[in-house]
Amino acid sequence: MSVDWKPFASHEILVQRAELLKAIRCFFAETGALEVETPILSRAGTTDPQIESFITHLTGREKALYLHTSPEFAMKRLLAAGSPDIYQLCKVFRQGEFGRFHNPEFTLLEWYRLGFDHHALMKEVVDLLKQVAPFATVDGEPQFLSYQDIFLQYTGIDPHQTDTSELSSFARKKNISFPAQMTTVDDWLDLLISCWIAIKLPQDRLTFIYDYPASQASLARLRLEGGSYVAERFEVYYGSLELGNGFHELTDAHEQASRFQQDQSARVLNGQSIIPSDSHLLEALSFGLPPCAGVALGVDRLLMLITGAPHIKDVCTFSIENA
């Protein structure tokens, strides 16, 4: 079967994309945030074992360059250097991610608010969506649930006090198919949130899930609560579709360095390639990153919801299939 040279998105959807981008810029012009551009090519990439970068080279130089998987590190360096609230609309690249809701190259909206925590930022996500994608807020009132609450509600399991045997017996009891190699508690939590909880979320409203297990902190700061650490981050879903990820940002350089180290150890263990940790980010954090919260939203998925398109390629001019 030959792949068509024509764009996947209809002209109407391209108009809706242009309007969405305009509405997003309008929101930030009104609420006060500076639009910035940061490099797509970088000497360091994400060390996150769950995300793989595209790798390339500058002619004549030996060291690899990485296509950014999110503009996060560069934007934090801007904040440390004194930038006010900033936002960016850009293409990001993730190796190996393609499917109905994934294209390896996609459009991200990322923004940072100084002095915000993740709760304040969740409220602003609602404000933004009200303005740029009214569908998302006219139906049901957005719901806000902690990771612990949502697990208790849908599985009866406390994610902060569980183990692999409790989680695997739940999966067996509910007939949830799972891979042969499930080693960590996080493997099971990820499986259950993707393949059990997310599909049962109310379909007519936004759901915010916040305060993740410390083992899934990524770049969020930790808080001690009820005897266990939780990571101050959130994910936002519309129905079952994950739209974005936000953090009350980690500002401690030592803690950041040790998370890079943990990521690298995990990558070695998994047989993944080692990606250079971003030393410039560590220097910026040592210099001082003001307290802030940041979030990244998938613009293509937002457009899928606005247009009702069934596949991400239907909202792209050309997807990876015919790029």
Partner 1 sequence: MATYSTNEFKSGLKIMIDGSPCSIVENEFVKPGKGQAFNRVKIRNLKTGRVVEKTFKSGESVEAADVLDTQMEYLYTDGEFWHFMDPKTFEQIAASSEVLVDNAKWLKEQDLCEVTLWNGAPIGVTPPNFVELKVVETDPGLKGDTAQGGTKPATLETGAVVKVPLFIEEGEMLKVDTRTGEYVSRVKA
Which residues here bind partner 1, judged by CB under 8 A?
A: 48, 50, 96-102, 176-179, 181, 186-187, 189-191, 193-195, 198, 216, 218, 233, 235, 242, 244-245
Question: Nearest distance from residue 198's CB to partner 1, in Å?
Answer: 8
Element (H, E) at 41: strand 41-42
DSSP one-letter string for 78-95: HHHTT--SEEEEEEEE-T
- With respect to partner 1, which residue has the nearer C-beta, 213 or 303? 213
Helix, strand, coil shares, percent, the chain, to 5: 40, 25, 35
Q: Which is nearer to partner 1, 114 or 266 (CB)?
A: 266
In whole angstroms, how close is the CB of 6 to partner 1 at the nearest point?
Answer: 21
Separation between Cα atoms, residue 58 and residue 39, nearest integer Å: 14
Give the residue with the Cβ less far from partner 1, 189 or 304.
Answer: 189
Nearer to partner 1, 113 or 233 (CB): 233
Closer residue to partner 1 in complex, CB, 184/258: 184
CB of 218 to partner 1, least distance (A): 5
Query: Least CB distance from residue 179 to partner 1, whole Å?
Result: 5
Residue 322: CB minimum distance to partner 1, A: 15
Nearer to partner 1, 34 or 97 (CB): 97
Least separation, in Å, of the C-beta of 84 and partner 1? 27
Segment 88-92 long-range contacts (CB within 8 Å, at least 24 positions apart): 88/35, 88/36, 88/37, 88/38, 89/21, 89/24, 89/25, 89/35, 89/299, 90/37, 90/38, 90/40, 91/40, 92/67, 92/68
CA-based diameter of the chain, in Å? 58
Residue 95 phi, psi (nearest 5): -65, 135
Q: Which residue has the tokens 């803690």?
A: 255
